[in-house]
Amino acid sequence: MSDCLKNVTRIAALGVALLGSGIAYAPHANAQGFSLGQFDIYGVLVNNNVQGGDINAAPVNANIGVGLVGEGYVNLHNEVVNGRVDTSGAASSVLTNYAITGTQPVSLGGAPTAASVNSNVATVSAAITTANNLSTTYGGATELALATQISISTGSQTINASSGGLDSTGVEVFKSSTFAIGNGNTLTINGTASQYVVIDITGTQTDKLNGALTLTGGITADHVLINFIGVGGTLQGAANGATLQGTFLAPNMTVSLNSLTIAGRIFGGAANTNFQFVSGAFISQPTITASAPEPASMAMLGVGVLGLLGVARGTRFKGTAAA
C-alpha cells in the first residue's frame, strides 16, 4: 500500500470513528440549539403592521430594524443611535424625526462608521420572518408538551437550564403562564455556554419586566429566548433601571417598556398597536456573531473522506494496470 493510500485510510478511519462515537451531530449530543439568523443583526426589531411607536432612549446602543408600519410612524426623536436603522420599505414612509447621530461600532457591523438610516433593506424582512418562526416553533404544541412547567412570579428565583424539557434539537424548554419579576427582584437562569433555553409565556395578563434577569454559568443572551406566545395584552416594563439579559419575543402583544436595560434583543409589536421603547428604556445589543455550523458538516466530512479513499484506490489501480 502506498504512503498516500495509508494516510487516506487513516483519515477515513478517524472520520468513521468520529461519526460513530457520539461526537458527531446526534440530536441531543450536539446541543445544536437554534440560530437567530438575520435577527442577530438587530437589537430592536419592530414587527410588521404596527400602528406606529416611539424609540426614545438615548443612546440606543443597537441596530434597529423596522418592518412595514400601518397608518402611523415610528418616532426616533432624532436620537443618538450607536448602530444603524434599517427599514423594510422607504424610511420616509415608516419613520419620523430620524435625523439620528452616533456611530455604528465594529461589534455591530460598522468599520466603525457613522450611524445611518437605510431604506428597503431586505434583511429586515428576513429578520422578522426568523423571529416570528422562532416564536411559533418553540411556542408550538410539540414544544409545550415536553416543556417543564414553572412559575415566574414576583419574587427572586433561579432556573437551572438542565431542568428543562429537552427537545430534539438540544434546547431546554420551559413554560409559565405568567412572567412577572417584581421590582427589586431577580430571575436568574443558570446554564453553560453550550446550552440553549426557551421559556414560553402562555398568558398575557401580568407579563411585566419589572425586575432583573441575570444569566450565569456562561450561557449568553443569544441562547435564551423569552417567548411571549399569548395573543393580546401588553408586555410592560418599568424595572427602575434593572438589566434584563436575553432575547425577548412578543410578536402578538403591545410592547410598552421603560426604565430598564435590555442586554440582548427585543422583537415585537402586534398589528395595529404602538411599539413603545421610551423613558429610560435602554438597549445594549451583543456583538453580532457568525452562524453556527450546519448539522450536516460532520456527515459531509465522512462523505468527503470516503471520496478521498475512493480516489486514492482508483489511482492505485490505474498505476497497477499501467504496470
The pLDDT value recorded for residue 313 is 42
Query: According to the model, what pLDDT value does residue 190 have?
Result: 98
pLDDT at 40: 97
Burial grade of 287 (CB within 10 A; 0-12, 13-18, 19 or more): exposed
Q: What is the pLDDT of residues 183-219, one digit of tens each?
A: 899 999 999 999 999 999 998 776 889 999 999 999 9
**Residue 44 pLDDT > 90:** yes
pTM: 0.81
Is 50 exceeded by the pLDDT of residue 29? no
* Mean pLDDT (whole number) for 5-19: 39
Percent of the chain with pLDDT over 70: 80
Q: What is the pLDDT of residue 57?
A: 84
- State how far the Cα of 273 lies from the Cα of 251, in Å rounded to an integer: 11
Predicted local distance difference test score (pLDDT) of residue 31: 52
- Give pLDDT, residue 170: 96
Using left for φ > 0, alpha for ψ between -120 and 50, and beta otherwise, residue 14 falls in: alpha
Per-residue pLDDT, 25:
28
Q: Convert the pLDDT of each residue in 269-283 to its tens digit.
A: 999 999 999 999 999
- What pLDDT is recorded for position 77? 97
In this structure, which amino acid lies at residue 179?
F
